Structure 1
Amino acid sequence: MQQQQITPPDHPIVSISFWQAFLFWLKLGFISFGGPAGQIAVMHQELVEQKRWISEKRFLHALNYCMLLPGPEAQQLAIYIGWLMHRTAGGLVAGILFVLPSLFILIALSWIYIEFGDVPIIAGLFYGIKPAVTAIVFHATYRIGSRSLKNNFLYLIAAAAFIAIFFFNVPFPLIVLSAAILGYLLSKKQPHLFAAQNAHQSKQKHYGAALIDDDTPPPAHAIFRWTQLTKILVIAALLWCIPIISLTLSLGWEHAYTQMAWFFTKAALLTFGGAYAVLPYVYQGAVNHYAWLSPTQMIDGLALGESTPGPLIMVVAFVGFVGGFNHALLGADHLFLAGTLGAVIVTWFTFLFSFVFILAGAPIIESTHNELKFTAPLTAITAAVVGVILNLALFFSYHVLWPQGFDHAFNYEAAIITIAAMIALFKFQINVLYVIFASALCGLVLYLFV
Structure 2
Amino acid sequence: MNEKQSYTLAGLVKYFLKLGAIGFGGPVALVGYMNRDLVEERRWIMEEDYKEGLALAQLAPGPLAAQLAIYIGYVDYKLLGATLVGLAFVLPSFLMVVALGIAYVQFGGLPWMQALFYGIGAAVIGIIAVSSYKLTKKSLGRDWLLWIIFGVLMVATFIYEKELLWLILLGGIAVWMSRTRPRLLNTTQSILYSPVLLQVTGQLSADEKLVQTGWFFLKAGAFVFGSGLAIVPFLYGGVVKEYQWLSEQQFLDAVAVAMITPGPVVITVGFIGYLVAGLPGACVAALATFLPCYLFTILPAPYFKKYGKHAAIKAFIDGVTAAATGAIAGAVLVLAKRQFTDITSVVIALGTILILLNFKKISELLIIALAAAAGLLIKFIPDLINV
Query: Does 1:394 pair with 2:330?
Result: no
Q: Structure 1's 365 and 344: CA in aligned 2 closer, same or farther, altered over 3 A?
A: closer
Distance 1:93 1:119 in 2: 33
2:126 to 135, 146, 150: 135
* 1:256-405 matched pairs, under 5 angstroms: 257-267=214-224, 270=225, 278-287=227-236, 297-298=254-255, 300-304=257-261, 307=262, 312=263, 314-318=264-268, 320-325=269-274, 328=276, 334-358=277-301, 361=302, 364-402=303-341
Query: Does 1:248 pair with 2:175?
Result: no
Whether the 8 Å contact between 1:124 and 1:443 is mirrored in structure 2 is yes
| Structure-1 residue corresponding to 2:171 | 179
TM-score by length of 2: 0.70
Query: Does 1:124 pair with 2:119?
Result: no
Distance 1:367 1:89 in 2: 19
Equivalences, count = 339
The residue identity in structure 1 corresponding to 2:73 is A
1:154 to 118, 143, 146: 146
Deviation at 1:374, TM superposition (A): 0.8
Query: Does 1:428 pair with 2:384?
Result: no
Distance 1:59 1:2 in 2: 9
Distance 1:91 1:170 in 2: 28
Distance 1:144 1:40 in 2: 8
Q: Structure 1's 296 and 153: CA in aligned 2 closer, same or farther, altered over 3 A?
A: farther
Report the identity percentage: 17
Look up the SS of the partner of 2:299 in the other structure: helix
Query: Does 1:448 pair with 2:380?
Result: yes
CA offset digits 1:51-93 (Å, max 9, x no partner): xxxxx6886675565455325334322233333xxxx556544
| Structure-2 residue corresponding to 1:210 | none
Query: Does 1:75 pair with 2:70?
Result: yes
Q: Structure 1's 114 and 345: CA in aligned 2 closer, same or farther, altered over 3 A?
A: farther
The residue identity in structure 2 corresponding to 1:437 is A
CA offset digits 1:281-339 (Å, max 9, x no partner): 324533578758756753551331xx3xxxx4x32121x2344356x3xxxxx445434
Whether the 8 Å contact between 2:54 and 2:321 is mirrored in structure 1 is no
Deviation at 1:123, TM superposition (A): 3.8
Q: Structure 1's 356 and 449: CA in aligned 2 closer, same or farther, altered over 3 A?
A: same
Whether the 8 Å contact between 1:280 and 1:389 is mirrored in structure 2 is no
Look up the SS of the partner of 2:206 in the other structure: helix
TM-score by length of 1: 0.61
Structure 1, gaps ≥5 residues long: 7-12, 50-55, 191-232, 272-277, 329-333, 403-410
Distance 2:288 2:174 in 1: 34
Look up the SS of the partner of 1:248 in the other structure: coil
Whether the 8 Å contact between 1:107 and 1:340 is mirrored in structure 2 is no
Q: Structure 1's 339 and 375: CA in aligned 2 closer, same or farther, altered over 3 A?
A: same
* 1:95-244 matched pairs, under 5 angstroms: 95-112=86-103, 119=110, 121-150=112-141, 151-168=143-160, 172-188=164-180
The residue identity in structure 2 corresponding to 1:338 is G
Whether the 8 Å contact between 2:340 and 2:346 is mirrored in structure 1 is yes
Query: Does 1:414 pair with 2:372?
Result: no
Deviation at 1:148, TM superposition (A): 1.7
CA offset digits 1:332-364 (Å, max 9, x no partner): xx4454344222221222223333344xx1xx5
Look up the SS of the partner of 1:174 in the other structure: helix
Q: Structure 1's 96 and 323: CA in aligned 2 closer, same or farther, altered over 3 A?
A: closer
Q: Structure 1's 343 and 286: CA in aligned 2 closer, same or farther, altered over 3 A?
A: same
| Structure-2 residue corresponding to 1:208 | none
Greater Cα shift, 418-427 or 287-296: 287-296
CA offset digits 1:109-142 (Å, max 9, x no partner): 4544676695454443222111111212222321
Distance 1:340 1:321 in 2: 7
Q: Structure 1's 95 and 184: CA in aligned 2 closer, same or farther, altered over 3 A?
A: same
Whether the 8 Å contact between 2:117 and 2:256 is mirrored in structure 1 is no
Q: Structure 1's 299 and 121: CA in aligned 2 closer, same or farther, altered over 3 A?
A: closer
Whether the 8 Å contact between 1:138 and 1:390 is mirrored in structure 2 is yes
Whether the 8 Å contact between 1:124 and 1:444 is mirrored in structure 2 is yes
Whether the 8 Å contact between 1:179 and 1:380 is mirrored in structure 2 is yes
| Structure-2 residue corresponding to 1:275 | none
Deviation at 1:43, TM superposition (A): 6.2
Q: Structure 1's 350 and 103: CA in aligned 2 closer, same or farther, altered over 3 A?
A: farther
- Cα RMSD over matched residues? 4.2
Deviation at 1:382, TM superposition (A): 2.0
Deviation at 1:146, TM superposition (A): 1.1
